Structure 1
Amino acid sequence: MKQKLTDFALVTIGSFISAIAFNSMFVENHIASGGVGGLAISMNALFGWNTANFVLYANIPLLLLCFFLLGKEVFIKTVYGAWIYPIFIKLTAGLPTLTHNVLLAAIFGGVVLGFGLGLVFIGHSSTGGTGIIIQLFEKYTPIPLGTSMALVDGIVVGLGFVAFDADTVMYSIIALLSITYAVNLVMAGADSSRNVMIISKHHRQIEKYITKVADRGVTELPIIGGFTGQENRMLMTTVSRLEYQKLETNILSIDETAFIIVMPATQVKGRGFSLQKTHQNLEEDILIPM
């Protein structure tokens, strides 16, 4: 229940932040940066259609496709974000445009909107729209995810040529790149872990600390020194970003000459990370509630 409430809060806050960036940076500057939101800006310029209403109504057939083709579980995770995002767009429609410098709006608006979307994704949801189409491509075609994202958003940005001049469309592309960068940064920051490799003459003590005190798994690998030719042991463990500093401090307190290699691990699956940590042998894995 706590996880579900956290997800709910992240989706709500993220949608609100994205809506603010959309109305205060993109609409008046005609930045159609992909997705249903970008298409809404083009339709607003061409026909005067309300952007919030367009996003809301466009999501209805897409959510139906989600329900029938992607399944009930994906639909449930998507429907709230797809509903609350256009509501927030409507509520924040009266905000003043923060800058009429289109380049600044594309860069900073993209970063803020991408940050909001990143929070939504961390909350295991989405704002619907073309994200549903991308999921359909991923499920039913051999097209890679990155290619399908570029294809779908590229078409939406390309439609901007009908409504705007070439300069505006190029600013939209800059905004799309800013959004993508910010989303990836938020997602990596939230999920990032550290893969740590340790070589030490006191590897038994360090191994005991990692398993008994730090409560993390550890793998022991046989190695041979390239210079000395002597056999040794290397320990490998994976910890969260917040756990790493304490781990390093305690390793060095055991052996101040320990050789430590740290590598970022932006996606870790398994017990203690994507699966519930347990010290019992279970017949079936228990997933963390989404």
Structure 2
Amino acid sequence: MSGLSNQISLNGAKSGVFSYLTQDGPFSVGNIEAAEDTAYDGYPTSAQNRVIVAHALRQLGLNQSHTLDIVTGLPLKRFYLNGDLNKDLIGRKKKNLKIYDVKGVDGYAPAVIKRHDVLSEAIAGWVNYVIQRNPEGKLSIVKDRALERTAIIDIGGRTLDIAVVKDWVLDRDRSTTDEIGMIKIVTALKDRLYDFFNGVDLTDEQVEQALTTRQVKVKGKLHVVGEIVDSATMSVLNSIKATVMRQLQKSGDIDTVFFIGGTSEFLRPHLADWFEQQVLLEDAAFANAEGMLKYAEFAMGQK
């Protein structure tokens, strides 16, 4: 995401960039070479957040003719404050998506959000485990699962959330949020590539290419950078593991440890054998989203 895009299509094809206007200025979303950071505390209540949500709904084919009830998330430590709900932040986050100031420069107007609930992201992963759907699509709470002591390790883009839950009660002593995730890996990789290429500052697109393909084209030449990717990954992975082991050093009473989150998918080869009772879900990147969907159906009465 950035300000208004300055990209111009030379052959009439769509550029893959969508521009929006808000009361806080213009934004562009899509194939942006140098994107703005979303890893800051004010993001959940920002115009940037409103634009990204509006664009996501646009990609689903939703516009001002649609009225929605939605559920979004916050990291565990921001969802709670001093052992209670962080009502101020939750309230401001709810209100933010009801400002309705986002408009596409092409005339697009986003869907209308009627109700907006907020969950803790790691707790949403637990909800996904405890509430199950039968073959007919009906949801129900699996009491045996709810009574288990379950640890959710949610490795996301900006944060690592660890939540230990039993019978709908969060174990605050073993639950935490750490500011570490995929963004840290990308930053570490960009710094290493800068040194490797003798001070050439690569674009976000080049860094993503290196991360996903272990190769990167610089000045017209393709370079193999797999070892650099591994070095950056392991430096952050070691920090993640240190936090997890510190919080869950007494794990003998935990029935199941789940790894969820998009960065868990990326780190899948490195997460084996941390705990005897661990599970890395096949759809780890969508566990929170599935939990929020189940919450919406179960608690909000929406499908």
Q: Same fold (TM over 0.5)?
A: no
Question: Whose helix proportion is higher, 1 or 2?
Answer: 1
- Calculate the TM-score normalised by the size of structure 2: 0.22
Radius of gyration: which is bigger? 1
Question: Whose strand proportion is higher, 1 or 2?
Answer: 2
More RCO (CA 8 Å, sep 6+): 1
